[in-house]
Amino acid sequence: MNTAGSIEAGATSSAPAAERRVLATIPDDKAMMRAAAELTRDIAAHRPAIYWADMLGSALAGYALLAGAILLQPAWLAWASGAAAVLLLYRALLFIHEISHFRKNEVPGFLFGWNALVGIPMLTPSLMYEAVHTLHHARTRYGTVEDPEYLPLALMKPWSLPVFILIALLAPPALVIRFGVLAPLGLLIPPLRRVTWERFSALSINPTFRRRPAEPAFRSRFFWQEAGAALWALLLVASVFWLGWRPLLIALAVFSAVAVLNQLRTLVAHLWENEGEAMTVTGQYLDSVNVPPPSPLAALWAPVGLRYHALHHLMPSLPYHSLGEAHKRISARLGPQSTFAQTTHKGMAPLVARIARSTMARR
């Protein structure tokens, strides 16, 4: 999942031709793909009990801690409660990524339950990712100008990285405006509604992406999601008249921290070294990142299976709770010299440093 907000694609500069050819023309490793399929057949089923327990526990505990950030004294206790709320609400929010890959009735009722408890209250209903994120996995779209979730960040200017991170701070107020102002006005002004849908209704980092009209199968549920988010946004703004500004500002600060954490995760989800060419599945895999154990903090900044992002690109339909076991099995079969092992990284800091060094070389 990527924060709604982007930087200008025009900041890119040309990478060496040889580097681009490696990413764009690398052939598929059929042995790796075959082993991944064979070794994960028995763990490919989604387990509803895990989804519900994880999401409900994370969301309810996160909201309780958010209340603590607003109500608790002394200040250090409120700050500690707020920091814990960020981590738990971040985890709850990232189930939007799993939802975007669900087939019909894969986890019954989960889409509605998650939207009611997490998506709408955090003004990020699943419509912002459904039928959008799957474009990022399309064989002919990944890493191209038609990919809503790709920018060649490693090939941009050095200032691009801090801008990419800091713009996420604006996500919560931007979402209040999108649902609380633009959505109601769009009912009266059809051209505004069209622009809102095309440009402000997807969690995209590609500034050139324009969302197409929703397919008929999605329209009904997208309508109630947008209506619910619009009503909630208006209620949040109205709450200042009886609760004052403090609760809303604290909640927005927590949600901004969630957005920044997610943007940092997005920054290290890929190596961002492709410059527009279509890639093979193996090329996409090698441009993506796994941070398996023993990395101690990856479970916090890349929860819900996202520490295995490269493996997810290799097997997008595998449920998050099976990715760790899948990684162990495939690693044991193929070994440390395999293509599969080339996406393993030690943590966030080395990945940020790698991308930063790449941008510095292009000043």
Question: Is residue 16 over pLDDT 90?
Answer: no
pLDDT-based confidence at 15, cuts 50/70/90? very low
Question: Is residue 5 over pLDDT 60?
Answer: no
**pLDDT per residue over 226-278, tens digit each?**
999 999 999 999 999 999 999 999 999 999 999 999 999 999 999 998 888 88
Domain assignment of residue 3, yes or no: no
Domain assignment of residue 19, yes or no: yes
Mean pLDDT for the stretch of residues 47-62: 98
The model's pTM is: 0.93
Domain assignment of residue 98, yes or no: yes
What per-residue confidence (pLDDT) applies to 119? 98
pLDDT-based confidence at 363, cuts 50/70/90? low
Domain assignment of residue 4, yes or no: no
What per-residue confidence (pLDDT) applies to 295? 87
- Across the chain, what does the average pLDDT equal? 92
Distance CA 195, CA 183 (A): 11
Question: Is residue 82 over pLDDT 50?
Answer: yes
Provide the domain count of the chain.
1
Domain assignment of residue 145, yes or no: yes
**pLDDT per residue over 239-253, tens digit each?**
999 999 999 999 999
Distance CA 316, CA 206 (A): 21
Query: Omega into 190 within 30° of 0, i.e. cis?
Result: no
Domain assignment of residue 142, yes or no: yes
* Tokens matching residue 222: 């997208």
Question: Is residue 97 over pLDDT 70?
Answer: yes
Domain of 74?
A: 9-360
DSSP 96-145: HHHHHHPPTTSSTTHHHHHIIIIITTTT--GGGTTTTHHHHT-TTTTTST
Q: How far apart are the first and last CA of the chain?
A: 29
Distance CA 117, CA 120 (A): 7
What per-residue confidence (pLDDT) applies to 198? 97
Domain assignment of residue 199, yes or no: yes
**pLDDT per residue over 145-200, tens digit each?**
999 999 999 999 999 999 999 999 999 999 999 999 999 999 999 999 999 999 99
**Least-confidence region, from 10-24, 65-79, 133-147, 184-198:** 10-24
Report CA-CA distances (Å) from 213 to 26, 40, 112, 193, 235: 34, 36, 22, 11, 28
What per-residue confidence (pLDDT) applies to 18? 37
Domain assignment of residue 1, yes or no: no
pLDDT-based confidence at 17, cuts 50/70/90? very low
Cβ of 46: how many Cβ atoms within 10 Å? 19
Question: Does residue 270 sit in helix, strand or coil?
Answer: strand
Dmax over CA atoms of the chain, in Å, equals: 63
pLDDT-based confidence at 41, cuts 50/70/90? very high
Residue 234 burial (C-beta neighbours within 10 Å; 0-12, 13-18, 19+): middle
Task: Assess contact for 155 and 360: CB atoms under 8 A.
Answer: no
What per-residue confidence (pLDDT) applies to 336? 95
Question: Which residues does 286 contact at the CB level (< 8 Å), separation at least 6?
Answer: 23, 26, 271, 310, 339, 342, 343
